[in-house]
Each structure stands twice: as C-alpha cells, then as structure tokens.
Amino acid sequence: MDEQHLRFTVKLADWRRMIQGALKHDEESKAVANFNMHLMPENSSLMPEMAYCQRDHDWEFAWNDKGHTVMWKVHDPKSMEVRDFIDPSLKKKWEEKWATAVRTVNPTPTEDGRPSRYILSMFPYPSGNLHIGHVRVYSLGDTLARFWRHRGFKVIHPIGWDAFGLPAENAAIERGVDPRTWTEENVAQMRKELQDLGFAFDWNREFSTCDPAYYRWTQFIFLKLFEAGLAYQGHAEVNWDPVDETVLADEQVDDDGCSWRSGAKVQRRLLKQWFLRATAFSDSLYSGLQDDSLQGWRDIKAMQEHWIGKPNALHFHMVVVKADRVEVGNVTAWSLIPQHLANPAVLCLKPGHFLIQRHGNPREAVQDLWAVNPLTGDRVPIVVLKDGEHGIQYPAKTDSRLLHPQLLSEEEEVLSNYLTTVLRWTSTGESREMSIDDVIRTLKAKGSGGYWSSPHLRDWLISRQRYWGTPIPIVHCPDCGAVPVPPSQLPVALPDQGTIRGKPLPLSQFQDWVNVSCPKCNRASRRETDTMDTFMDSSWYYLRFLDPSNSHQAFNIDAVRPHLPVYLYIGGKEHGVLHLYYARFIQHFLESLGMVPCREPFRHLCVIGQVMAETFRVETSGKYLPASQVNRTETGATEKETGLPVEVGWEKMSKSRRNGVSPSALLEDVGRDTLRLLVMDDAAPRSERKFSLHSGIPSALPGLERWQKRLWQTVTDLVAVRSSESEASPSRIPDEEFRRHEREMRESRNFHVGVVTYEMESTLKVSVVIRRLVTFTKRLRGRPSEVMQRSEEFEKALGTLLVLASPLVPHLSCELWEMMSSLPPRHTSSHFSWDRTVLEQRWPTVDGDYKVGLTIKVNESNRGTLEYAAKDLEDLSADDALEAALTLPGVQKSTAGKTITKTRYRFFPGFKAVLHISASS
C-alpha cells in the first residue's frame, strides 16, 4: 500500500484558514491537481484534531463542520505553506497587550490652538448587540480619526446612545422590565463590545439621550421653539396603531396598511398634536444645500431637495370661523401667486382634510364654516372637492388649495363654472394686486405666517403618545391654556416606571405626575402627556458632544465654535432623509437665535453602504435558510433536508434573513485588527459591501491575513538580520545595485505616502488604502539582507509603512513598531520618534524633492502634465498654475481663440494637483 499518514493537531480557526488558503491555491493553479487528501476528524461533530492523509491518485481534504464538506486538492501538500497567517495565539497576545494603548490613544483635546477635526459616526440605538453594519461605520470612523490624529489635528471622536424610542419600550414590555433598565443593560453590553473592538472614542463625552441631564436641554430647545412661535398644537389625522396605542409615521405603515411593528391594521384618527413649524425654515434648508462647504452629499442632496421641495409657495395661517364668527380652528394655506392674496378667494379642501373630518358632513361644512383672509379680514368660503372633481387639481401630497375664481385660466372653465354656481359668485372684474414684499410683511406683522415653502412639505409632528421619550415641557391650564414650564424647572423628568403587566403605560396614567399647578396662575392644571419623537433627541446631540457636562446651558457657543461644522459625518443611508433634515432644521433654528456659529451642521457626509450577504430562500415557501442547510451545485441549490429548490440572492445582512454574521463571533475568530480590515476591505465605504463567505468564513480573510503575515515577516527579517553577527561583514553586493534598491524604496515610500494620504483625506476609500499597503509591503519583501542591514531607505520605508498601517491595524502596528524600535543602530532617528509608540508618530510626508504632477484639463479633457518637486508644488498658487499651464502646447491649442471662463485648482499635497480650465469661444 502506497500510503502516507500526516498527523497534526490544529485548532478549528486554523483549520478554516488552511482550507480556505488551499482552495485559493487551487484556483490559482488549475493545471495539476494530482492529490486527494482525506481529512477525517475522529468525531465530525467536534473540532477536528487529527488528520490522516491518504495517498492514492489524488489527495483530498474533506472537513465536516456544521454540515459543510470542503474538498481540497493540491499538487504537493508538503510544499504548501499552510500557515500563511500569524499564529493566532501570538496575535491575540499582542492585541491584549496593546488594547489599552490603542483604545485610549485619544487624550481629551485641550485648547492648545491646534486645528480641529470633528469625526462623528452616527450614535447607535442601544438595541442589544452591535451588528456588522455598526462595525463597518465605526471602523471607518475610528480609522479616519486615527489618521487625523497622526496629522496633528485635535480630533473629536465621540460616542453616545440614541436611547429613547418605541422599540426599547416594546422590548421592555415584552420582558416585563422597565425600559430604562433594559436600555441601560444594552448600553453596557454595546459599550463593552465597542471597547473590545478597540475603537478610540472620547468616552469622557458619552451620554444617553434618555439621561435627564441631556433631555433637560432637548426640552429647553423645545421651549425656545415655542417662544419663537414654531411649536404649536394642531389637529392632524394620524396613523394610529391600536395595539401599540401610538401614532406611527407614514414609513411605519406597510403597503397593506398594517403597522410595521405590531402588524395591526392601522386606523386613521384625528388627534390634537404638537408640531414644529419646520416649513418656516424650508427656504433656508433648501438653499443651504447649495452651500459650498457641503461635500460628499451627492444623492443625499437630491433626496433632501426632493423631501423639502422647491420653496415656491407662500405659506400663511387662516383662522376658521363658524357663521357666528366663533373661531373653530386654524389652517395653514399656501399660494403660488401671493400677490393676488387680497382678491376674493375660495378655500378648496379634500374630504380627508382634518377640518372637514372634525366638522362632520363635508357638504354641510361648506355652509357653516369660513376661513378668514389674513390680509383683508374677508370671509373665504370653504368648498370640499375630491381631486379631479369639477376639474380641480391639487398638487401632489397636498390636501388644500386656495383659489381666486376670477383668476382661473380658460382650461379651468369647469371649475370656474362650478364655483360660480355653487357660491353664486359674481366677479367684480377688478383685481387687487399687492407687491409680494408687502404681503409677506403684513402676514408676518399679524403673526399669520408669510414664509416660503413647497406646497407639499408638512410641519414636523413630534407628539408621541408613549412613555419612553422626552416629555414635552408644557402645562395645560384651564385659564391660561398651554403654558411652558419655566426653564429653571427643567428637566420635566419622566416618572419612575411602575409594573407594566405587558401593556404600554402612557404618561396620562401617572396621576401624581400629571396633576400640577399652572406655572402662571397656580391653578390646578395638567401636564402635557405626549413625549417627543426620538428624531428630536437626535437632532442636536452632536452639539452636546462638544460640551457634554455643561449643567448651565445646552452647550456654550465658545465650546462648539472651533469644531463646527462637523468635519465628517458617517452613517447609514436610512438616515439620509429624515434625521439629516431634522438636524439641519434645528441647527438653522439655533443659528437664527445666535446659539451656533454656522447654519449647516455637517460638512463632509459619508453615507455608508449596506453590508450584504448571500441569502437562501426555498422557492415554494419563501422561507429563509441558513447556508448550512443548503446544498449547492453548479446547476443550483437545494434544501438539504427536503431537496426543494432554493433561490440564491444577495440581501442586507439580518437575523430574519438568516444571513447575518455576528461581530462578536468574528472577533473571537479573527481578532480585532483583521475584523477591522474585513469590514473595510473590498468596497468603497459608500458602496454596498458584499460579504461573501466560503465554507462559513469570509472570502477576503486569507488575503488580509497574508498581508499581516508579510508585514510581520518583514519586520522579523529586519530584526534577525540586524541582530546577526554578519552585520559587520563587508559589502557583498555592488554599490550600484545597493543604490538601485535605495532608489526603489525611496520611490515606493514617497508614492505610497502620497497616495494613502490622498485616499484617506479626499476619497475616504479605505479599501484602496488596504490594497496600496499590500503593494507597498510587497515592494519591501525579498530585499537582500545587506540592504536591510545597511540601507537607511529600507528602515525609513518600513517605519513609514507601519505608521501608514497604524490607523487600520493599530494593535499589530504597535507590536511591530516596538520590535523595530528595539533595534540598533537607528539610521532614521531624526525621521521618527523611536521612543514613542507608533500611535504617537507624525504622519509621514513626501520628500521635498519628490516629483509630483500638475495635470491640466481643458473642458475636462487632459491637455498635459507638468512635473514639480513636491515642495515647489506646495508653494504654487492657482494663478501660477494657470500661467505655467498656458506654456504647454496642448493647452495653447485647446484654448486658442477661446475665452477662459473659469478655472478651478485642486491641490493634494504630495500626490498631485489638477487645474481645470473652462474655455468657450
């Protein structure tokens, strides 16, 4: 028998790597696969500890873990490098050794005059555990915060908890615990996970939005809005979930009209609700999107514009009266032709309009209700018409339209005739036109609105009839009406939660809490029992992070001024519309009060793409299956148990789709640095990340581990060579060759410093940075030992590589840096601070004489490149660049006979400069 046995003991994690590495190996060399190895674990339900490799025609590894079978074909198992990764136990030891240093690298920035970089990742909702999407967002934020710290900036990198809200309350009810307890437990769990991952947050800035010390100021901002006439009570027809007993946003109602959460059929109810008059800022919010400081907003800008709508309608309020002139309410109306507002008008309402609903039979409403024209005091008849009825057209998403019958066009003859008949209208023939400015001035003076907004934009309905939120600080007095709680009495704290007994407890059930005396007249009154939409809590948290322990103010303007607008805001696309809109609204409002120094809160926006994974659905039932229950062949996939055909797709990772990967399990398996690389690798942050798994492990893993191994090997080789006796031996390679090595390494170092800095600063494409560092490492590998011994360039390049890698793999970089810094002698002592950790090194810059290019584009076509020494390009002004560009024949030719209308000069230090010339004839 030609039989051979290999015996070795490995851990499960190592096995996964080996098999993955081998598959990769096979793919790369399809030509010969002569061996089949059989790996037969003694007990397939346990970790395979022993392997027998049997030699016949082929070698084949079969490994059984959770039902997977993996085949492994190789040419020659002995020659294969099975351990192309750093010993996991060694790595784990390093990560523990450096954990504190890595996690706490960010000292609280003091006011030392350094420029600031506020790197903000959207704070999480404390749902219990981090998911992979969180890890993607926070890994990017942490990497970029480290990058800016190396650059010498004062980096603000805070974290906190978006802790109020319905999901927490419902989860607490289900478990029979207090929402506060549930939330605090989750916060503790997730804080630990974030710390385990090694993210260097400013923990001294941490808070939860459910802390009274925070929501006290949310209430304060509400009172400021109230004072400014921007918080008001109105009636609105709302989506009412009869099971959860709360109002739902439109997005929370599915296509069948059921609640996304409880599944109950949603009812329409007319309720008195609190609104914030966000529409009053829509002109400012719309035009603010054109602010030059906004970068990376791209499609988000379009989404915001779409949501806000073109502010082309003047909004104003109309008092509604009955026949006896008794006021019954207030409506907001709008006009595209406000200069005609003083003319006789008719207010057309859809049957669903809250006013009509409140007053019973819609047809009767026409006879006994009038709106009052705020300009003239005239009574305006109200007509109820469905969309299209008698020729009326309402703009999309509106339920009212103010018409001036004598101004209707010929196309609207049907409508004109109808109004004339039903209202016995007789045209006076004269048209009263006012200047728009006069109209606005008069409306504002009367407190009747007078601001531009799109017809469809609604005010922000913030009332929630639930316990777990910020209480609205209002007292309802029978005499004084809605009275604000004096700021000195804030916070209006939530009452302690009693037993819940599986039912929601709205604030109205806490009688001791509800019954208070009126702050104005002392009469027995009742507190407002609605709490605020959680979007209100998250609308200003980034300001509080800058002054988190201020007990006298929400924040001090001097504390926030140096750090605003937020330099970089990172988060999921699902917050691209509402959260950004509300946060911008509050910032615009605070700016109007002089409380913040700028109108736009966020400069760069990085909207992170979703993490996707393969899903498996049984075709007949639509049931999701975990990968382990699926058999895949070239022709398709089937369910293992039943043999039913399975549809394979890519969807967002989630528990319900059974395609999730738990970050904590991955962390245990691959360690901190590799996990960071895994979530940032492969796709640009804004793109979807397809997280493909091969036999249960991420496909990208072997490559990323191989890179770290090479990095480690390079440092280890250097240490070995330098420590060996041969150091003193005379040179064995020709000088010329030695110099060639030096030149190549110098070139590579400069190139990689330039490109990595550019990607980190300008494109945020950390995935590209990873690829660049892999290449840079390859460029340093395999240099002759004499070069490693003697070359200053080699040491400089390797030190630089470790600093460049430090934001991505901080633990590994720390360890390797320590190994290097123990070496004698130090060729590049002036280049690095060898007595400090890699975390404290200055970011490398390119050599002053390194050549970089200035590219000239005329009408977006390349017309030539000029080469400059990096230090000279640094001094080049936009005018200098244009002057130099015009000496190039290509530029001369393409601008001949044309006028240069615009130039735009962009300079990326150490990497490139681009001059854009627009020329037209």
* CB of 518 or CB of 866, closer to Zn ion: 518
Among 32, 302, 521, 593, binds Zn ion (CB under 5 A): 521
User: Does 520 sit near Zn ion (CB under 5 A)?
Assistant: yes
Residue number, 261 or 476, with CB nearest to Zn ion: 476
Q: Could you write out the three-class secondary structure of 56-111?
A: CCCECCCCEECCEECCCEECCCCCCCCCCCCCHHHHHHHHHHHHHHHHCCCCCCCC
Cβ proximity to Zn ion, 526 vs 826, nearer residue: 526
Under the criterion CB under 5 A, does residue 802 sit at the interface with Zn ion? no
Instruction: Determine contact, residues 711/777, Cβ cutoff 8 Å.
Output: yes
Read off φ and ψ for residue 158, nearest 5 degrees: -90, 170
Question: At closest approach, how far in Å is the CB of 227 from Zn ion?
Answer: 17
Answer yes or no: are the C-beta atoms of 717 and 763 closer than 8 Å.
no
- The C-alpha atoms of residue 286 and residue 289 are separated, in whole angstroms, by 6
Query: How far apart (Å, rounded) are the C-alpha atoms in residues 573 and 608?
Result: 6
CB of 143 to Zn ion, least distance (A): 56
Residue 360's nearest CA partner among 384, 395, 386, 389 is 384
520 contacts 499 by C-beta, under 8 angstroms: no
d(CA 889, CA 227): 65
Closest CB to Zn ion among 479 and 574?
A: 479
Q: How far is the CB of 221 from Zn ion (least distance, A)?
A: 24
Q: How far is the CB of 479 from Zn ion (least distance, A)?
A: 5
- 480 binds Zn ion, rule: CB under 5 A: yes
From 104-112, 516-524, 775-783, 873-881, give the range in contact with Zn ion by CB under 5 A: 516-524
The three-class DSSP label of residue 356 is helix
Residue 481 in contact with Zn ion, rule: CB under 5 A: no
Q: Which run of H or E residues covers position 279?
A: none
| Comparison of 481 and 848: residue with beta carbon closer to Zn ion | 481
Q: Which CB atom, from 477 or from 627, has the smaller least distance to Zn ion?
A: 477
Only one of the segments 18-26, 517-525, 738-746, 799-807 lies at the binding site for Zn ion (rule: CB under 5 A); that segment is: 517-525
Measured in degrees and rounded to the nearest 5, phi and psi for residue 371 equal -95, 155
Nearer to Zn ion, 380 or 518 (CB): 518
Rule CB under 5 A: which of 650-669 touch Zn ion? none
**Nearest to Zn ion of 110, 522 (CB atom):** 522
Q: How far is the CB of 520 from Zn ion (least distance, A)?
A: 4
**Pick 475 or 881: Cβ nearer Zn ion:** 475
Q: Which stretch binds Zn ion (CB under 5 A): 25-33, 512-520, 570-578, 898-906?
A: 512-520
Q: Supply 870's token pair.
A: 């990096």
Q: What is the 3-state secondary structure (H, E, C) of 776-799?
A: HHHHHCCCCHHHHHHCHHHHHHHH
Give the torsion sign (CA, 691, 692, 693, 698): negative
Stretch in the footprint of Zn ion (CB under 5 A) among 424-432, 521-529, 608-616, 787-795: 521-529
Minimum CB distance to Zn ion, residue 588 (Å): 33
**Tokens, residue 883:** 């002057």
Nearer to Zn ion (CB atom), residue 223 or residue 403 = 223
Piece of the chain touching Zn ion by CB under 5 A; list 405-413, 414-422, 518-526, 710-718: 518-526
In whole angstroms, how close is the CB of 512 to Zn ion at the nearest point? 20
Q: Which stretch binds Zn ion (CB under 5 A): 362-370, 520-528, 546-554, 821-829?
A: 520-528
Q: How far is the CB of 487 from Zn ion (least distance, A)?
A: 18
- Return the SS3 of 723: helix
Q: What H or E segment, with its residue span, contains residue 896? A: none
* Token pair recorded at residue 836: 């400090």
Nearer to Zn ion, 479 or 867 (CB): 479
Which 68-97 positions form the footprint of Zn ion (CB under 5 A)?
A: none
Tokens 């990198």 -> residue: 157
> Interacting stretch for Zn ion, rule CB under 5 A, among 134-142, 296-304, 511-519, 717-725?
511-519
Residue closer to Zn ion (CB basis): 302 or 521: 521
Least distance (Å) from Zn ion to the CB of residue 235? 23
Closer to Zn ion by CB, 83 or 520: give it: 520
Report in angstroms how near the CB of residue 356 gets to Zn ion at its nearest: 33
**Closest C-alpha among 108, 206, 197 to residue 159:** 206
Contacts of 839 (CB under 8 A, 6+ apart): 101, 102, 105, 146, 806, 810, 813, 814
- Beta strands (DSSP E) in 787-911 are 851-858, 861-869, 899-908
Sheet holding 566-572, edge to edge: 154-156, 116-121, 566-572, 602-608
Distance of closest approach, residue 526 Cβ to Zn ion, in angstroms: 11
d(CA 766, CA 768): 5
* Nearer to Zn ion (CB atom), residue 523 or residue 904: 523
What is d(CA 555, CA 256) in angstroms, rounded to the nearest whole number? 44
What values do phi and psi take at 606, rounded to 5? -125, 105
Positions in 311-350 near Zn ion (CB under 5 A) = none
What is the DSSP code string of 390-454? GG--PPTT--EEEE-GGG--GGGHHHHHHHHHHTT-----------HHHHHHHHHHTTSEEEEE-
Min dist CB 478 to Zn ion, Å, is 7
Shortest approach of Zn ion to residue 419 CB, angstroms?
A: 45
517 is a site residue for Zn ion (CB under 5 A): no
Q: Least distance from C-beta 223 to Zn ion, angstroms?
A: 17
**Residue from 155, 247, 278, 518 in contact with Zn ion (CB under 5 A):** 518
In 3-state terms the chain splits into helix, strand, coil percentages (rounded to 5) of 40, 20, 40
Compare residues 233 and 279 and give the one whose CB is closer to Zn ion.
233
- Distance of alpha carbon 519 from alpha carbon 525, whole angstroms: 9
A 10 A CB-CB count for 255 gives 5
Go through the chain and tell me how many residues it has: 921
Check whether the bond before 381 is cis (ω within 30° of 0).
no
Nearer to Zn ion, 474 or 518 (CB): 518
CA dist., res. 77 & res. 512, Å (int): 77
**Min dist. Cβ of residue 477 to Zn ion (A):** 3
Which span sits near Zn ion by CB under 5 A: 519-527, 651-659, 762-770, 876-884? 519-527
Q: Structure tokens of 156?
A: 């603000």
Q: Identify which of residues 480 and 882 has a Cβ nearer to Zn ion in the complex.
A: 480
**Site pattern 14..53 for Zn ion (x: CB under 5 A):** ----------------------------------------
Interface with Zn ion by CB under 5 A: which range of 174-182, 291-299, 480-488, 885-893?
480-488
Whichever of 47 and 521 has its CB closer to Zn ion, that residue is 521
Q: How far is the CB of 499 from Zn ion (least distance, A)?
A: 34
Q: Which residue has the tokens 């023939």?
A: 429
Side-chain-side CA neighbours of 830 within 13 Å: the count stands at: 2
CB of 529 to Zn ion, least distance (A): 18
What is the closest distance, in whole angstroms, from the C-beta atom of residue 481 to Zn ion in the complex?
8
Judged by CB under 5 A, the chain residues 522 through 561 that form the site for Zn ion are 523
Total residues at interface with Zn ion (CB under 5 A): 7
Q: Does 479 bind Zn ion (CB under 5 A)?
A: yes
> Which x/- pattern over 448-477 shows residues binding Zn ion (rule: CB under 5 A)?
-----------------------------x
By CB under 5 A, name the binding residues for Zn ion: 477, 479-480, 518, 520-521, 523
